[in-house]
A and B are shown apart, each in its own frame.
Chain A
Amino acid sequence: MSKKHGALRGSLLSLTALAGMVSLVSAAQAEELRLLTWGGYAPDEVVEMFEKETGIDVEVTLSNNEDMISKLRATGGGGFDLAQPSQDRIAGAQLEYGIYKPIDLGKIDNDKFIPSMLDATKSNTTVDGEVYGVPHVWGTSGLIVDTSKAAAVKDYTDLCAPEVAGKVSYRLKRPTLIGFAYAMGMDPFAAYGDEAKYQEILDAVEAKLIECKANVKTYWEGGDALLNLVRSGEVVAAMAWDTGGWKLNNDNADITFVAPKSGALGWIDTFALPRKTKNEDAAYKWINFVMQPEIAAKITASAGNFTASKGADEFADDKLKAQFQGSFPPADLDNIKWYPTVPAGLEVLEGKTLDRVKAAQSN
């Protein structure tokens, strides 16, 4: 018996030693920044420059809004040092799950940000007097249209027109609900605070989407899948992000991003600190690093969207600027509907609406 115990203790000891070595090894490694972000927001070039300048390794995990919240919720805000959720999705998630940590604005070079965007984001992400997010990349969602085949599509509701039957696509997500609501002449953002009113809007949109379902080829999920559908001509009009349209425009001049008549939906992706961030300093270093105009321009080139970095426009690619101006004449630019913070509970209502649309028979 005693020998057995000895053996057990021995193996336990060696296990402990092994674990110790592993932690030693990781400690001996260079500092690390674990970044939870979107595709294109941390291009290799920028990561390398950052690593060279600071000696900090950057480990990039690609994600989206829902996935970010789910990941951080599962670990109670651990596993990552810096996240990039959209500004409208911070306050609710913070209230509900407490997954973020306030940003120390003193550690951020405020003058590198476009002031209006910084202020808007700060106010949208404030919970109990603390600011949880600063802006990084912004863009819009609207329509990608093959103008040679579906020039008539000018607004979200035009996707339901018989001329494009079976050749349109959109996501079954909340931006679609909001976009259709605006196109139907309602103002969902104004109804954010009034649940009953909002439900009314949702009901109207639901009816429209169910009616429109037969027109839809498929509800797209991943951006690449949609781009393929449009590129192959199977889809001629879709609700999507501006960058996707511009990307397609590079290959086929007929296809481009169109700001809908009722207004494109504007979003801002931010920097937010997960509550259990292990390397806060590196996170601030990264924020300040990528907000430098030249670096921000590189991110614009890679992600296709503009940043909140002051003066980065100068360094941006001319073609992209031209595409942007083509899609957004001044009037349309003013008409962009910026997402306000989503109040808690609204997403449950939206979820049920989306469920019912999904379940409805299309023919």
Chain B
Amino acid sequence: MNKSASITTGGTFRFGLLLLAMPLLLWLFLLVILPHVDLFLVSMRERISYGKYEFSLINYIEFFAEPLYWNTYVRTAVMSIFATALTLIIGFPVSYYIAKVMRGKGKNVLFLMCLIPFWVSELVRTFGWMILLRESGVISNFLQWAGLADGPVEMLYNDAAIMVGLVYTSMLFMVVPLVSVLDSLDDSLIEAGYDLGGNTFTVTRDIVIPHAMPGIASGCIVVFMLTLGNYLTPNLLGGKDSLWFTEQIYTQFITRFNWESGSAFGFLLLILSSVIVWVGLKLSKQTLSETVG
């Protein structure tokens, strides 16, 4: 039994490896590659009449010809980049505080506090924001009570509300990689930076940020992807002017029954996110393997 189980030939070894990798390969093929191929094929056809389709680029042409789609596409990308930057700007000091300033129990408590909002679903979190920001909501009432506002204040249904929701939703995904990368920064490097004449700004710029770069890059990639692909938050908090590209895709698929252009939009979103992540990695001089690995 032992003899036959031990790996004796290359052939057996390879077969065993294949068997081990099977779940991963199946997962990749059935759930990632196959749907994308199908999506691509659907995006490349045009509906001629009931149940009749032909190969065509019309869905892509339509995207470029219709300013609405374009605008939404660019707006989504710009807002996502902005939300990612904002998340980084807020998340970095928070992470630094958790990783380097706090000690012992307080550290875990703070970290847990970042995690708590994620115990409820995104929908509930977004509704929470709606309760706070709406005209008859908590903040509006507080401002009136405090005499800072004369009448009800509507803070919902605008880009700022979308931003707040997106940053809040993404914060954890920025803080986790940042905390782990900052944790790995030897305190004595920071002290050496000060000792040799650096101030807070230069030490952060020359030592902390270069060290944290892989964490920053991976946090930004995750947050950017999440933001770009977010549907609920822009939709609920943005109201009548939300204009998020995923909404377009949803509309095409679900309310227009236009799977062809929905697929094309989906593909364009995939291209957009890939290009922006690629550019971001180039600019920050990081590689994907470094960042993810």
Contact = CB atoms under 8 A, between A and B. Distances in A.
Interface of A: 1, 3-4, 8, 66-67, 69-70, 73, 93, 95-98, 166, 172-173, 213, 216-219, 221, 232-234, 344, 347-348, 351, 355-356, 358-359, 361-362
Contact of B235 (A221, A347, A348): A221
Given A351-B256, A358-B68, A359-B243, 18 more contacts: A1-B15, A3-B5, A4-B16, A66-B255, A66-B257, A67-B254, A73-B257, A96-B50, A172-B240, A173-B255, A218-B156, A219-B239, A233-B136, A234-B136, A347-B256, A348-B258, A359-B68, A362-B240
Interface centre among A344, A347, A355, by most chain B C-beta atoms within 10 angstroms, is A355
11 contacts: A4-B16, A216-B240, A217-B154, A218-B157, A232-B134, A347-B257, A351-B255, A355-B248, A356-B68, A358-B68, A362-B240
Contact of A217 (B4, B5, B239, B251): B239
A47 B241 CA distance: 41
Interface of B: 4-5, 11-12, 15-16, 19, 50-51, 66, 68, 71-72, 134-136, 154, 156-157, 235, 239-241, 243, 248, 251, 253-258
B126 to A, nearest CB: 11
A31 B72 CA distance: 48
Nearest to B241: A362
A234 B12 contact: no
B257 A96 contact: yes
Contacts of A73: 257
A249 B240 CA distance: 27
Give the top 5 A-B pairs by smallest Cβ distance, nearest first. A218-B239, A359-B68, A232-B136, A66-B255, A351-B256
B216 to A, nearest CB: 34
B202 to A, nearest CB: 44
Contacts of B11: 1
B117 to A, nearest CB: 21
A67 B254 CA distance: 6
Nearest to B134: A234
Given A66-B255, A67-B254, A358 B240 contact: yes
Main SS at interface, chain A: helix
Nearest to A359: B68
B257 A217 contact: no
Nearest to A173: B255
Contacts of A173: 255
Nearest to A5: B15
Contacts, number: 74
A357 to B, nearest CB: 9
A344 B50 contact: yes
A348 B59 CA distance: 13
Contacts of A66: 254-255, 257
Contacts of B136: 232-234
Contact of B71 (A3, A96, A97, A359): A359
A96 B259 CA distance: 13
A219 B240 contact: yes
Contact of B258 (A216, A351, A356): A351
A75 to B, nearest CB: 14
Interface centre among B50, B51, B154, by most chain A C-beta atoms within 10 angstroms, is B50
A227 to B, nearest CB: 14
Interface centre among B16, B72, B134, B255, by most chain A C-beta atoms within 10 angstroms, is B255
B257 A70 contact: yes
A109 B160 CA distance: 57
Contact of B51 (A98, A166, A232): A98
A69 B68 contact: no
B51 A1 contact: no
A8 B22 CA distance: 12
Contacts of B135: 232, 234
B251 A351 contact: yes
A217 B158 CA distance: 11
A138 to B, nearest CB: 22
A349 B66 CA distance: 14
Contact of B50 (A70, A95, A216): A95
A355 B68 contact: yes
Contacts of A95: 50
